[in-house]
Amino acid sequence: MFRLVISDSRAWKNLMAAISTLVEEASFDVKPEGLALRAMDPSHVAMVDFEYPKESFQEYECTEPSKLCLDIGDMLKLMRRVEAGETLELTLDPQTNHLNMKLTGKYKRRFSLPLLQPSVSEVPTPKLTFDAQIKMDADCLNDAITDISNVSDQVKIEADEEKLVLTGLSETGNVVVEFERANQAVLDFQVKGEAKALYGVSFLQDMVKAGAASSKVVSVEFSTDKPVKIDFELPLQGKLTYYLAPRLE
Amino acid sequence: MVSLEKSWLSAYLPYSEEERRRIGEFLKVRVPSYGSLCLHCKGGRMLCGKSCCPLIVKAEKLLGQLRSIDSEKIQGSTPPSVFVGRIGYPKVYVGPLIPPFHGDTAFLDTPETWIGRGLEDIVNFRSTLVRGKFPVSADQPLRGGSLFEKLQEMALAARPVDAEALFAQKPQGAIVLSDEVQPFGPSAPLRAFWLSNVHADRVVEKCYYDDDLKAGEAVLQLYRDGVPVSKIQRCFSLGMFGDKGRRRVVPTRWSITAVDEAISLSLLREVRRYPPVGEYRVYAFKNLDNIFTAIFLPEAWSFEWIEAWFPGTVWNPQGREPELMGDYEGFRGRTTYADVGGCYYAARLAAAEALSRERRQAKVLILREIRNGYLLPVGVWNVRESVRQALKTQPHKFASFLEALDFAMRNLSVPLKAWLPRSVILRQALFQRKLADFSPQG
């Protein structure tokens, strides 16, 4: 038995879009305590770690743990015209092996989506320590990365005890965005010594753009030439975290 | 347009006084509006850097061909072969291609069998076919008239068809004074033509008469039934598939890429679900002074195609260094037309076929070096068939990317440092770390 109700279906759609930046097929772990997903993109360069505890849902029922595997692009297609304020109910139909989606707003709409065969792949969490941990306004980070994506396909992220600097270099031109620790977009700033690493801008842009739609606050954590962890704060212990492996110069 | 005898080309061609009178006026020489190096070179100074003059090669073939046609009528067995022009679209010229002799002529228009043939043969095949032409509206193939219906009937044939064509005038050959135009046989406006011995290909015929089957689905169905791509493409170009009201005539050049694209997309939908190949691989193949090198990486599907045109080849006549161009798509494919054009899709089809056969996926990088012996472009089939051939050879297998790359570069004369800035996959493989590199077990 599995059933859940979300009061703000628009928010749910944004979260699904955030997952779909990395994977086409999403395999959720359905557990009595909530919904979780951990997946790597096909090139194994980026990863998303998503948790949504049962408290985050308006109603949540799950009697036994299972896997829920679906084409997330198709789910988004069905949800394309979701309106703010509509309530979404998801239930599983074991007979037809479909996920039923019921949207209740001014009137009721019902969609159903076939479930896919879950592929077995364990995704390990990278073991990382971070020299730089910076909590900041998600929209500001999104703007900074969008600026850089206009000129370059990679972004250099540097932090020392004073500031965070994002740089894009290319033949077209150079973009440098600085966030000093006292800047009002910066909420928390902890850097040990220095940290510097290079990342592919398209992954970073997709992640930050999708995450910023769900959360106002993001924390960026990294060390020299190590993966960056991008963590979006969600209400009620919800978790939307990305990891992205660096490039070498 | 000037006649041949007034042009410098006549000096190179072995023809007699009598022939000059008889056929000279039917071989026209046209100067392209954008000017041409050939006018300064006149076949003698080798300005284009090729090993011999492509115009003289073309002119000789065409002349040989014109010798055997001396009236407004031609009889022969068509492979079957058709051509749909793209100039003036949506009002385009279509028509049959007929050689002036009978027999099993299928090879004349089956590029699938051309691997291993020299450039001379290929030019010969092209020049042999005499093209009749008449106008149709691309968007109204159902109102194409009786000539057009007959053309479709001919295209359906499973074997060469005996044909007789009546032209409005004696076919003329045209040589464009530019080394970047594909060889073509003589042509003339078509008045009428007659067919005998048409044996329709049952499988193709079924799709032709199915008014509800979508064009894309018809293409896939025929491909899975083993119909050669060149044949599917021929019928596709004559608007013979699809929902009855939505059939269109498609210029030959576009239809080739449309068919390559449709088939590879469908194969790739499956390939993306297969496990990756087990090792790094390098495949190599040479055809018509083109070097093809494919590198397979044991990762999720993505594809890149890069061509290096050597100085003196068609797209790089004046350069000192090889000119590189290419295009890339990631796991989810692409949404825009590839900058390099049709060869990208032809190569991708060959790669998708090989992976689908093996039920594996891979990250695929294909490099092509086009050297000076490639006198004139012969068509996109060269890429499709060469890559197909390359991927049927036994690959060299390696445990690491660097070993594979090192081996691949030994075959090529463009150095790694020239490929690197052009190649997304090379840069990814060399510089992009993976998350697993940072996991506890490494």
Residues A48 and A142 in one domain: no
- Is residue A127 included in any domain, yes or no? no
Which candidate from A200, A227, A249 shows the least CB-CB separation from B435? A227
- CATH code: domain of residue A230: 3.70.10.10
Distance CA B216, CA B181 (A): 30
Q: pLDDT tens-digit profile of B363-414?
A: 999 999 998 888 777 888 999 999 999 999 999 999 999 999 999 999 899 9
- The Cα diameter of chain B in Å comes to 86
Higher pLDDT, B442 or B11: B11
Residues A46 and A86 in one domain: yes
Final residue in a domain of this structure, among A82, A114, A146: A114
Measured in angstroms, the CA of A58 and the nearest CA of chain B are apart by 35
Query: Mean of the per-residue pLDDT values for chain B?
Result: 87
CB contact under 8 A, A226 and B439: no
Which residues of chain B have a CB within 8 Å of the CB of A43?
Answer: 299-300, 302, 330-331, 363, 428, 432, 434
Which residues of chain B have a CB within 8 Å of the CB of A248?
Answer: 430-433
Residues A107 and A142 in one domain: no
pLDDT of residue B172: 79
CB contact under 8 A, B431 and A126: no
The secondary structure element, H or E, covering residue B175 is: strand B173-176
Q: Which of B315, B323, B13 is nearest to B179 (CA)?
A: B315
Measured in angstroms, the CA of A1 and the nearest CA of chain B are apart by 30
Which candidate from A42, A47, A248 shows the least CB-CB separation from B431? A248
C-alpha Rg value of chain B to the nearest Å: 23
pLDDT of residue B442: 43
Q: Are strands A228-233 and B2-3 parallel, antiparallel or unpaired?
A: unpaired
Measured in angstroms, the CA of A136 and the nearest CA of chain B are apart by 24
Q: For residue B211, which amino acid is it?
A: D
Distance CA B365, CA B399 (A): 17
Distance CA B274, CA B359 (A): 6
Measured in angstroms, the CA of B296 and the nearest CA of chain A are apart by 14
Torsion of CA B312, B316, B319, B322, to 10 degrees: -90
Residues A95 and A152 in one domain: no
Mean pLDDT of B313-340: 85
- Is residue A11 included in any domain, yes or no? yes
Tokens of B179: 């080394």
Query: Of B129-138, B139-148, B220-229, B241-250, which gets the smallest average pLDDT?
Result: B139-148
Range of the domain at A16: 2-114
Distance CA B115, CA B178 (A): 26
Which residues of chain B have a CB within 8 Å of the CB of A229?
Answer: none
**CB distance B121 to B127 below 8 Å:** no
* Domains of chain B by residue range: 2-196, 203-271, 280-438
Measured in angstroms, the CA of B354 and the nearest CA of chain A are apart by 20
Mean pLDDT of B31-41: 64
**CB distance B118 to B145 below 8 Å:** no
Mutate to test the interface with A, among B269, B328, B435 (most CBs of A within 10 A): B435
| Sign for the pseudo-dihedral over CA of B329, B334, B336, B338 | positive
Which residues of chain A have a CB within 8 Å of the CB of B363?
Answer: 43
Given a cut of 60, whether residue B441 has pLDDT beyond it is: no
Final residue in a domain of this structure, among A88, A114, A140: A114
Tokens of B184: 């073509």
Instruction: Give the B-side interface with A, CB within 8 Å.
Output: 272, 299-302, 330-332, 363, 428, 430-441
The confidence band for B123, taking pLDDT boundaries of 50, 70 and 90, is confident
pLDDT of residue B3: 60
Which candidate from A41, A43, A227 shows the least CB-CB separation from B438? A227
pLDDT of residue B59: 73
What total of structural domains would you count in chain A? 2
Residues A168 and A110 in one domain: no
The pair phi, psi for residue A70, each rounded to 5°, is -145, 160
Q: Which percentage of chain B shows pLDDT scores above 90?
A: 58
Residues A102 and A159 in one domain: no
Q: List the strands of the sheet with A87-93, edge to edge.
A: A59-62, A2-6, A87-93, A98-104, A108-114
What DSSP string runs through B398-422?
A: ESSHHHHHHHHHHH-SS-HHHHGGG
CB contact under 8 A, A200 and B438: no
Measured in angstroms, the CA of A51 and the nearest CA of chain B are apart by 20
CB contact under 8 A, B433 and A45: yes
Residues A236 and A194 in one domain: yes
Which residues of chain A have a CB within 8 Å of the CB of B438?
Answer: 126-128, 226-227, 245
Mutate to test the interface with B, among A23, A24, A44, A123 (most CBs of B within 10 A): A44
CB contact under 8 A, B439 and A127: yes
The pair phi, psi for residue A68, each rounded to 5°, is -130, 105
> What count of CB pairs under 8 Å joins A to B?
60
Higher pLDDT, B137 or B29: B137
- Chain position carrying tokens 């590029």: B111
Q: Which residue of chain B has the CA closest to A20? A: B332
What secondary structure letter does DSSP report for B44? T
Distance CA A104, CA B332 (A): 33
Given a cut of 70, whether residue B27 has pLDDT beyond it is: no
Distance CA A44, CA A49 (A): 14
The confidence band for B4, taking pLDDT boundaries of 50, 70 and 90, is low
pLDDT tens, position by position, for chain A (249 residues)? 889 999 888 888 999 999 999 998 889 999 999 999 999 998 889 999 999 998 889 999 998 888 889 999 999 988 888 888 889 999 988 888 899 999 998 888 899 999 988 776 778 778 889 999 999 999 999 999 999 999 998 999 999 999 999 999 888 889 999 999 999 999 999 999 999 999 999 999 999 999 999 999 999 999 999 999 999 988 778 889 999 999 987
Mean pLDDT of B230-250: 93
Q: Which percentage of chain B shows pLDDT scores above 70?
A: 83
pLDDT of residue A189: 94
Q: pLDDT tens-digit profile of B49-102?
A: 677 777 777 777 777 776 667 678 889 999 999 999 888 989 999 999 999 889
Torsion of CA B418, B421, B424, B430, to 10 degrees: 80
Residues A206 and A237 in one domain: yes
| Sign for the pseudo-dihedral over CA of B141, B142, B145, B146 | positive
Q: Which of B117, B124, B119, B83 is nearest to B101 (CA)?
A: B124
Q: Which of B405, B434, B260, B424 is nearest to B329 (CA)?
A: B424
Which candidate from B331, B363, B435 shows the least CB-CB separation from A243? B435
Measured in angstroms, the CA of B301 and the nearest CA of chain A are apart by 8
Mean pLDDT of B2-21: 64
